[in-house]
Structure 1
């Protein structure tokens, strides 16, 4: 989820904690638990600092080790220890328990996005991405905002947020049902499909769909009970080709391939250099595929520059590649 949603979820956990008699009867503990829950709801995303290095490091590692089982256990200990230094004599057990719940909830809700997390690492290295909730879900975020307003108007803090989370359970169930309807519709129209990739969008009834068969890939959009097709491409696995093999040594392309399960590639001769281009088919927007990986090589197959990330115009891409060369 986005940062703002994680913040309000931290406030929700800190509020539900007031239903704990130990927390409710200790105003200092209640304030510290609220702070611990807010920090805990943000802690797994501290790896965003990797963006300062480059997109490859960020794409390859974001929501990785910081969202793993060891991290979920370690973050609450670090936060509780730090807060206890500023608030001597605080009830560490209850502070840890509610901070742990905030950290766990962060990682748990992230698995419902299309990006996913390595939540089961080191048991499993596979990324878990259920693809039922958009990165920013208005219903979830504004539901929390409404609960905060109702609390400030005088409703019981703990029960207000507990009621919201009871409602959100049914919301998530409905989103799973809606996604499965799209999945079944895709299989109905393409019974030979080997993979169906579904990503949610900002709008409830709109889903990004990529259908892959042994011979073709179809880029589509599900709207209601209809699947509307945009483009289709031959399914071409990455070949054992000298130019491609040289490009695969680049960290930006390697990061892209570690993240993207549905893409198409091409090699373009730009008259003075070669470009190996990969585009992720899941994020088609206004006829454009903005998530890309580009490797620029000379004719001796030496890598000149590369880029991976979100690009919305050829001009921006050229600037990125030129900057990487300098």
Structure 2
């Protein structure tokens, strides 16, 4: 998910706690833990500062998003709460666990994916059924703030309901997306999904031999072929990898790549992010 959505989900977690009888310091510690825990796995963006070998794609959403690091992040947040506010409360640790777990688990539903099982596996878990910016989630959270502000129900009950609805939104998107993917499997050698911004709509990227189809579809609409790409599967990519380390990383990171081999250049790109004639995940070398 994007940074704003993660922060909003952190606020939902905090607002789901009944805080009326807590001290100001406890409230601040819990708010800090919920929001910081919802953002802290993305601290890996600083790795861009020292990346000289083209490994950023593997580092971003890599080890910091590992499920095995969740308790360590929670301990760090609890320690910071003690340092800043002298608050020692087991609820802070468990809230930190929940906030970090929600962050890294939500990210596996995006096309970008995460290194959920690192360091034991470099596999990127990318289900692709929820867009990075989910407008339905934003609408649910906005409705929750309005109901808590102007309604009569206690705020923590409103936001617990919002949290449940967000889970249902993820479940609905995922059930629909996986059903669509399953129906496409018989037509292609490899299929990946990339959720569209419109709820219940997906891009299905299917590869058969050297042909890659990008189709927009949903359970209630006829598929529309957006692009048909040709991949030069027999091309020797070793010169590209030697000249452009980012290309080797992209080939290892992406579940599917398209190879472009022309007299002018050799290139690979991720078709999940193909739009307007190109993909922003594109690496090449001039011949």
TM-score w.r.t. the length of structure 2 is 0.88
CA contact (8 A) 2:68 2:117 kept: no
Corresponding residue to 2:228 among 185, 207, 232: 232
Aligned equivalents of 1:15, 1:284: Cα separation in 2: 38
Corresponding residue to 1:37 among 34, 38, 42: 34
Cα displacement (A) at 1:287: 4.1
Instruction: Please tell me the root mean square deviation across aligned C-alpha atoms, in Å.
Output: 2.3
Aligned equivalents of 2:258, 2:35: Cα separation in 1: 41
Aligned equivalents of 2:71, 2:234: Cα separation in 1: 39
Q: Judging changes above 3 Å, is the alpha-carbon distance between structure 1 residues 219 and 151 closer, same or farther for their aligned structure 2 residues? A: same
Q: Aligned to 1:226, what secondary structure does the other structure show? A: strand
Return the index of the structure with the highest Cα Rg: 1
> Please, which runs of 5 or more residues in structure 2 have no aligned partner?
none
In structure 2, the residue matched to 1:115 is 112
In structure 2, the residue matched to 1:186 is 184
In structure 1, the residue matched to 2:160 is 162
Q: Judging changes above 3 Å, is the alpha-carbon distance between structure 1 residues 156 and 67 closer, same or farther for their aligned structure 2 residues? A: same
Higher RCO (C-alpha 8 Å, min separation 6):
2
Cα displacement (A) at 1:92: 3.1
Aligned equivalents of 2:98, 2:204: Cα separation in 1: 34
Answer yes or no: is 1:245 the counterpart of 2:238.
Answer: yes
TM-score w.r.t. the length of structure 1 is 0.78
Answer yes or no: is 1:262 the counterpart of 2:256.
Answer: yes
Aligned equivalents of 2:147, 2:197: Cα separation in 1: 26
Q: Which moved more, 1:78-87 or 1:54-63?
A: 54-63
Cα displacement (A) at 1:163: 0.6
Give aligned pairs, total. 282
**In the TM superposition, what are the counterparts of 1:71-82 in structure 2 within 5 Å?**
71-82=69-80
Corresponding residue to 1:208 among 188, 203, 207: 203
Aligned equivalents of 1:235, 1:269: Cα separation in 2: 15
Cα displacement (A) at 1:261: 2.1
Aligned equivalents of 1:205, 1:170: Cα separation in 2: 13
Q: Aligned to 2:146, what secondary structure does the other structure show? A: helix
Cα displacement (A) at 1:158: 1.2
